Amino acid sequence: MRDFSTIRKDFPILFQEVNDEPLVYLDNAATTQKPTQVLDVLRHYYENDNANVHRGVHTLAERATEDYENSREKVRAFINAKETAEVLFTRGTTTGLNWLARSYGDAFIKEGDEIVISYMEHHSNIIPWQQLAERKGATLRYLPLTDEGFIDMTAAKEIINEKTAIVSLAYVSNVLGVINPIKEFAEMAHANDAVMIVDGAQAAPHMVVDVQALDADFFAFSGHKMCGPTGIGVLYGKRKWLEQMEPVEFGGEMIDFVNLYDSTWKELPWKFEAGTPNIAGAIALGGAIDYLNEIGMENIHRYEQELVAYVLPKLHEIGGITTYGPQDPEHHTGVIAFNLDAIHPHDVATALDMEGVAVRAGHHCAQPLMNYLNLPATARASFYFYNTKEDADRLIEAIQATKEFFKDGAI
C-alpha cells in the first residue's frame, strides 16, 4: 500500500501557483489529474509503439495491439467482468449510455414500456432516455428523493413494476455525494424482467466495483475521472445482451465481411468499436488502473471517507452555508455541493479561485436535480486521494475569506 502522504508528488500539475497562491485542486468530479506514471505510458506508446491495432503484421502494430488488448484485460479484472468480450472501449460514459439507448433501446423497447431513472441523474443519463422514449412511445419515470438526497426506496418499489423495461441509475451522485444501492435496484429490475444500467462515472474512480456482484446488465464509466486520459471510457455489458445488439457506428475494424449490399460484423467486443480507436488512451487507461491498483481501491475509498469526515463538519460550522446530500459524513462521498447565503455560486467559485482553490459552480449537468431542489446552481468541491487535510483547511479558509469579502468588500 502506498503512503498517502507521498502520493501527491506523482502529480506534477499540483505543484504550481494560481493567482499567487498554491493550487488546491478540488474539481475532481469533473476530471482528475494524471500521475507521472500514466503520462509516461502515453509518452512511451507514442515514442516507441505508435501504430494502428489489429490490422498489421509488422512489429509496431503487434506491440500496439498487444498493449491495447492487455488494457482491456486490466479493465475486465478491475470491474470483475466475466470476460474481455464484455468490455467495450468508448469515448466515455456519455458515449456508452448513448450506445445503449440507440442499440439496446431501439432493439428491445416498445410503445408503452417504462424507463426508470432518478432526479439526481447526470444529463448523460437523462437525455438518451428522453430521446429513446420519444422514438418508441415509451414513458420516462423519475424516482423521488428523500430530504437528504437518497432515492426513496418505498416509492421505488411502486414505480419499478411490470411495465418497467429499463432502470438506469448513477452508482454515485455527482452532486449529492450519495451511493445508491445498485444491487437492490438490480434485484427489483430483474424481478420485473427489466435491465439494470449503471452510470459508474463517479464510482469506478473511488471504490471497488464488481459488476457481477452488482448483477448490473450494463455499466459505463470514463477514464479521465480515474487518472486516465480524456476521450477514453468503457461500456461493460453482459454477453447475452451484447450478442443481440447491433452496432451504433459502422466502418473499419468492426466488420467481418463487406459485400456490395450487406456486411457482417466481427465477434465481441470488436463489432462495437468502429474505426481506429483511441489506442493511446486505452493503453494509458490500463496504466491508470495499474496505478490505482497499486494504491488499492479499498484504501482509496477509506482515505477519501476520512477526508469527508474531516471537512464536512468544518463546513457545517460556517455560518450561512448549506450543504446538499447526506449530512452524516459516513454516508457522503467526497463530492460536496454547497451554497453560501446571498452569494451566487459562480461568485463563490471565482473568489475561491483567487485564493488558489479550484471548485466548480453551476448546475453540474444536473438541471432536473437543481429544479427538484429549487436551486439555480451550487458550488461543488470534490476530493480525490491526492488531496489532503491541508487542502480541506485551505477550502475552509477560502470560504471564510469569501464571506468576509462579500460582507466588507475586501479579500
> Residues with catalytic annotation?
365
List Cβ<8 Å contacts ≥24 apart for 99-104: 99/235, 99/248, 99/272, 100/128, 100/197, 100/218, 100/220, 100/235, 100/237, 101/128, 101/129, 101/131, 101/132, 102/128, 102/132, 102/248, 103/245, 103/246, 103/247, 103/248, 104/195, 104/218, 104/241, 104/245
**CA distances in angstroms from 127 to 209, 251, 370, listed in the order given:** 25, 26, 16
CA distance 113 to 196: 15
- C-alpha cell of residue 311: 471537512
Cβ within 8 Å of residue 211, ≥6 positions away: 79, 80, 81, 198, 219, 236
The DSSP result for 25-37, as a single string, is: E-BTTT-----HH
Sequence-ordered alpha helix ranges (H) in 80-142: 93-108, 127-136
Question: Rounded to the nearest 5°, which phi and psi values hold at 303?
Answer: -65, -45
